[in-house]
Structure 1
Amino acid sequence: MSGQIKLGSSWRPFQARQIVAPQKGFIWAAEARVGGLPVRGYDRFSEGVGQMRWRLLGILPVVTARGVDVTRSAGGRLASEGVLVPTAFHSAIWSAGPSPDTAVMTRVINGETEHVTIQVDPAGALTEVSMLRWGTPGGSPPGRYPFGVSIEAEAEFDGITLPSILRAGWLRGASRGNGDGEFFRARISKAVFR
């Protein structure tokens, strides 16, 4: 995937690869540039632990984080990114959503029950993913806050339809592009299923 990520108050282009194993974990490895210099690193959730590790020039630490709050947030991210692996939908518990065009996908990740609401348009295309995700957006105290992903387009990869253009952010309305907490814009260009 490629896109833009908000670092501080500036949007920076990035290139990334991600592995998602529903119910087990993910690793998102990327490179962005700050002042023309590469910042490389990863976000991950594996073996029940979440971690972020980012370094300037591959040497100087920019962000290093782990602990209970990072793990809980990463578990929520894994639950929401289940939409990137629709072949694993059968492993979720499904229920009716708050409106006729929504459904709730429930997964237990690392002992935490995560409820992810998905919204579709009249033709059945995925348009939004939302949840109360653990985090500390904007320096808020740790807790569950509204988190949303707006799906702007879908594409077919290996015969499976996935979100291909998306925006993500914290706080109510973030996924609708009003700027509140939006920090991620991406285009998925390739997906392989194993």
Structure 2
Amino acid sequence: MDGQLRLGDRWLSFDAEKTLAARRGFVWQPNVHSGLGLGFSGADFSVDGTGGQRFALAGLVPIVRSSGEAIDRSSAGRFLAESVWLPTSFLPMMGAEWDGIDDRRARVTLPTVEESLTVTVDGQGAVESIETLRLDGDTGEMRPFGAIVKRERTVNGFTIPSRVEVGWGFGTDAYEPFFRAKLREASFH
């Protein structure tokens, strides 16, 4: 994927690879470009309930090292939201439990995450948005979190989001997007 990540008031471009495994977690490995010749790279992850972040400036100088219970819980919320890129994780045979809300929204709960995810579809069944409550690691508060799905595409028979905008305060007047991404390619194993 590639896109933009907001840090403070600046939007920085990135390219990244993501690995998702149903019921296990994710590893996101971006290369973030500052435009000043100094970028940073590393990983943001949640694997088997343990979350963390490890980033270094120019691949050498550590700038972010985070872990602990709050990061574990926040990363689990991110894993829940990003599972939309791995539709098989939402199958009942994988432990997912679904509840209908109305004719356009349903709530899904995964066995490894405390919170549930609300999925909203349009009249043709395309995913419009996803939202959940997620622990904000900066404030320690549970906050609305979600994504607007701007475009989908089908890869190996799976229809997944191909362009998204993600932010805190989702569905409120305080919505703050901080991530925009476009899926370049995907594979399923």
Instruction: Using structure 2 for the length normalisation, give the TM-score.
Output: 0.92
- Superposed counterparts of 1:3-152, under 5 Å: 3-34=3-34, 35-90=36-91, 91=94, 92-97=96-101, 99-109=102-112, 112-136=113-137, 139-140=138-139, 142-152=140-150
- Tell me the SS of whatever aligns to 1:73: helix
C-alpha distance in structure 2 between counterparts of 1:87 and 1:115, whole Å: 16
Which of 122-131 and 71-80 deviates more?
A: 71-80
- In the alignment, the residues of structure 2 paired with residue 9 and residue 64 of structure 1 have an alpha-carbon distance, to the nearest angstrom, of 22
Identity %: 34
Partner SS for 2:82:
helix
* d(CA) in 2 for partners of 1:53, 1:63: 5
How many residues align? The count is 185
Write out the 4+ residue segments of structure 1 that deviate beyond 4 Å after TM superposition: none
Report deviation, 1:179.
7.6
* Greater strand fraction, Structure 1 or Structure 2: 1
SS in 2 for 1:37: coil
CA deviation vs aligned residue, 1:62-114 (integer Å, no higher than 9, x gap): 211111111001111111122111123212100012x32000010132xx422
Query: RMSD value over aligned CA atoms?
Result: 1.5
Structure 1: 5+ residue stretches without partners: none
Cα displacement string for residues 110-159 of structure 1 (whole angstroms, at most 9, x for unaligned residues): xx4220000000000000000011114xx43x121100100000011112
Instruction: Note if contact 1:108-1:114 (Cα within 8 Å) is conserved in structure 2.
Output: no
